[in-house]
Structure 1
């Protein structure tokens, strides 16, 4: 009997009526389906069933009927993100590879739509923290599993993600786990239970092992940058420094000679065919962007014409394997500028939140949250230079959480006269309503 298939189906369809009343619960389910992909771990009818699409439709219906205010806090981050989405639509109209480009656009606009739904719906502390738990544990599951796999096999085989997903490849799951470690650290900082902190600490260590076990050179570079910023941005640095000083060298020493040989090619990239193929693709993207203001559109790296016209070696067709050159080739210099500007503005916004939130005990959690989100963004920015996940929904959801954090901080400053006890009572009422009834619009 396909127990996994039945379990996922019962969970999703059992929650659908609740989602129509509480779309925030739908966002949590959607995150579980998008990041853990539990249906991809089954083998029969649930494996290819469109659970995420059904959940998204239920969320949108729930949002339309919801009594809470549905507002997007417009800021430089959200405005530039909308401009970036609009520009990607324009480049798709003139894509060099039209049919695959429109299929890719169909995926991208849905990701961006859900990003703005998250901004409209996940407007409270409880909702944001619940979303962080779901995302971190969903991806952390693969880090936990991959870490054990690496230890049991002596690092002889590369770690991969669930087949048929964004994070299937070893490079992709490596990037996802790099972004997940800071989220796990945030949960560790806010968790009052010692046993849970220890469990999260074990998960972090196994995620580090799993990242190394992907045998991805780009992930190794991103891991180094992420760990440095994790130490710099985290509270309680002393214990973290000790753990990382022991864990990282031990993991590297544990890996077999074949792993060390592969990682050593970072220094001698000019002798590595894969690295040279990437450089050839990057050169093609640069030349293409110089020639075409709109770039080549989605999937321009997958056609021979673009390499024949713009690559130094026309016969060496290769994927971008870089978020920056992927955007440059597909959307030109304007698209790359907008993409970088979104990340820069999100970083600036997070920094301003950290400065303000540190001043009060009631908002200190926002400082911890945005600090760890910045670490995750650094991991994405560095590892993404060598890995092609420019449209990874986790990146855009983290930006959405930064925007929401600014909104929550502003609201907290406006109601600073409320006592901590009153704030806790509001949180308790919302938590209980998860199992009882929809939450009414908050009174400000």
Structure 2
């Protein structure tokens, strides 16, 4: 039944995508982040919905008469260089078959980021994209939060099978990263009942992340909480809500959860933590021996025997940073970090432009929450493997779109203010010309 419902829903929307590519962007974002097909059990499970949506959206974009303005900034140029470098490293990959398969997956994400930047131009479209991003992950926040409460926190929360967020740690990082945008949704609604509902969704999302038993997400979440409070104008109300969330976590989670979180302090006795350190050593050794790194998906048993400090203790990267180091070398990690830095700077420029502008409160709130998301991703991602997950790049795309929109407004404002000034000067000159003869006897 789920399969039929999903087929009907998506294929009934596709005709509208031909008319407006923006709808295709939202549809793809929903499918790529929420993975609704992975919640089915029949033909829909492996059906390439994302590929179909991409093709239809690209055709619609090509034939559409709408304005196509790709923002050329330091941030977008860095992303293009990073994508080019990842493609080059794939040609020299140490595990070619695995590398090209992952390259194909990553490039789909990057192509859709480009389509997002070309397609979205208005305030309403940017807000719709932010809502879609937040609520696509909010579904798992709601589902996982309720499950954690009902189970007393005794079972781990996992994501949908066959997706980037299947693993409990990956899901936890996704929830932590998306949570600020869920918070933005409640900031942008005016009806009290909806606002309270989205506050409740925020709380359930936090509980779901905690219920994943991910220690990396705990660290990322703590940093994200601090910046969420710092970036919020209503600090007292926000602080009370965050404190209430902490109280609920202490009330719900069992002793085994606290025991696992305490292992952060005793990593020397934790085999999982030692395995991660071995994987990080592997990544550094691969990058030191190969200018272009090992290529996508190089953390394999065969290569661990050659490059790892402990050859037979194979682990995933468990860090977005060491993942990029191992796969794309030191050049790759430099581009990755530069991209993150420039994304933060973009958010700062948007906030500066919106300062003391009540009409741009929506943009200020959204930029601030995107920055909080980057903090959650940057810190939580230090211990989790999600360097190319759509969510992060979609959030950065929102910041780029905000800058594109506001710079356009800034240009218009400057032109509007320049004309009256020129008129005033001309009038003054005329007035002066008239007065001079009157003063002459």
- Give yes or no for TM over 0.5: yes
CA RMSD in angstroms, aligned pairs only: 1.4
Tell me the CA shift for residue 259 of structure 1: 0.9
8 Å CA contact 1:122–1:404 kept in 2: the answer is: yes
8 Å CA contact 1:160–1:173 kept in 2: the answer is: yes
What does residue 376 of structure 2 align with? 379
Helix, strand or coil at the partner of 1:301:
coil
8 Å CA contact 2:176–2:221 kept in 1: the answer is: yes
Helix, strand or coil at the partner of 1:252:
helix
1:241 aligns with 2:239: yes
Tell me the CA shift for residue 181 of structure 1: 1.1
Tell me the CA shift for residue 254 of structure 1: 2.5
What CA distance in whole angstroms lies between the structure 1 residues aligned with 2:214 and 2:86? 29
What does residue 152 of structure 1 align with? 150
What does residue 6 of structure 1 align with? 4
Tell me the CA shift for residue 309 of structure 1: 2.2
1:62 aligns with 2:56: no
Tell me the CA shift for residue 364 of structure 1: 2.0
What CA distance in whole angstroms lies between the structure 1 residues aligned with 2:361 and 2:240? 24
Tell me the CA shift for residue 37 of structure 1: 1.4
8 Å CA contact 1:296–1:332 kept in 2: the answer is: yes
What does residue 178 of structure 2 align with? 180
1:359 aligns with 2:369: no
- TM-score for the superposition, normalised by structure 2: 0.92
What does residue 442 of structure 1 align with? none
What CA distance in whole angstroms lies between the structure 1 residues aligned with 2:206 and 2:264? 20
Structure 1 residues 28, 121: closer, same or farther in 2, change over 3 A?
A: same
Tell me the CA shift for residue 11 of structure 1: 1.4
Tell me the CA shift for residue 260 of structure 1: 1.2
8 Å CA contact 2:301–2:312 kept in 1: the answer is: no
Structure 1 residues 248, 418: closer, same or farther in 2, change over 3 A?
A: farther
What does residue 165 of structure 2 align with? 167
- 1:208-247 aligned at under 5 Å gives the runs 208-247=206-245
What does residue 428 of structure 1 align with? none
What CA distance in whole angstroms lies between the structure 1 residues aligned with 2:307 and 2:23? 48
What CA distance in whole angstroms lies between the structure 1 residues aligned with 2:3 and 2:251? 40
8 Å CA contact 1:185–1:200 kept in 2: the answer is: yes
What does residue 369 of structure 1 align with? 366
Tell me the CA shift for residue 113 of structure 1: 0.5
- 1:38-437 aligned at under 5 Å gives the runs 38-304=36-302, 306-416=303-413
Matched residue count = 416
Residues 205-214 or 42-51, more deviating: 42-51
8 Å CA contact 1:140–1:203 kept in 2: the answer is: yes
What does residue 20 of structure 2 align with? 22
Where does the alignment leave 5 or more consecutive residues of structure 2 unmatched?
A: 417-441
8 Å CA contact 2:33–2:390 kept in 1: the answer is: no
Helix, strand or coil at the partner of 1:123:
coil
What does residue 432 of structure 1 align with? none
Residues 16-25 or 35-44, more deviating: 35-44
Tell me the CA shift for residue 252 of structure 1: 2.8
Q: Deviations over 1:154-191 (max 9, x none)?
A: 00000011111111110011001101110011111111
Of structures 1 and 2, the larger Rg is shown by 2
8 Å CA contact 2:282–2:326 kept in 1: the answer is: yes
Q: Deviations over 1:29-54 (max 9, x none)?
A: 11111112112111111111111110
8 Å CA contact 2:318–2:385 kept in 1: the answer is: yes
Residues 329-338 or 244-253, more deviating: 244-253
Tell me the CA shift for residue 342 of structure 1: 0.4
What CA distance in whole angstroms lies between the structure 2 residues aligned with 1:364 and 1:181? 19
8 Å CA contact 1:212–1:252 kept in 2: the answer is: no
What CA distance in whole angstroms lies between the structure 2 residues aligned with 1:195 and 1:370? 25
8 Å CA contact 1:363–1:409 kept in 2: the answer is: no
Helix, strand or coil at the partner of 1:49:
coil
